[in-house]
Amino acid sequence: MTEIMIPAWVDGTLQPVEKLDAHLRGLRHKAVSVFVLADHAMLIQRRALGKYHTPGLWANTCCTHPEWDEPDATCVTRRLSEELGIKNVRAHHRGQVEYRADVGCGLIEHELVEVFVVDTTRDLPLALNPEEVMETRWITLTNLRAQIVDTPEIFTPWLRIYMAQHSALIFGADA
């Protein structure tokens, strides 16, 4: 298996670091998160059981780390296709957020995230990569918030953080 090198800050300098090492050390690193929206709902994904952290938990549509020297928008297009088979959509950059979360198994996500939104329709064709995603569903933001309150343990830490702290940035002032 090829080591995936992601951009992380080591001693104040952005450097390529192996992805698992960045999570073990809790290094601040670059990431992208995508929220695919349609008809007042968001497409969420349930992470594959083979993922090395947070397997089986529900997350936003797509989140990943750009490879070293990969532009964020290129990373978004690549991963939407690789994970979900989503092609020919336009992602709009909404801004940047930072969070730090324990994701279990001694791993820390400390991410500087570029947030992107895709506006589409619910009939968007999908082709799930079973190594990445076990299922998807559309959910209204109201229902998602209620489910996070009722069963927070079925959602990734970052989705809970996005919904609690960054909804206005992601979904607009009325969210």
Identify residue 116 by its one-letter amino acid code. F
Pairwise CA distance, residues 154 & 134, whole Å: 14
Catalytic residue flag (residue 63): yes
What is the distance between the alpha carbons of residues 53 and 10, in angstroms, rounded to a whole number? Answer: 22
Per the annotation, the verdict on 75 as an active-site residue is no
- HEC states along 86-100? CCCCCEEEEEEEEEE
Per annotation, catalytic residue among 62, 75, 83, 111? 111
Of 99, 105, 90, 104, the C-alpha closest to 34 is 90
Q: How far apart are CA 32 and CA 97, in angstroms?
A: 10
Task: Exactly one of 62, 63, 75, 114 is catalytic; name it.
Answer: 63
Q: Residue 31 and residue 22: Cα distance in Å, rounded? A: 12
Active site residues: 63, 111
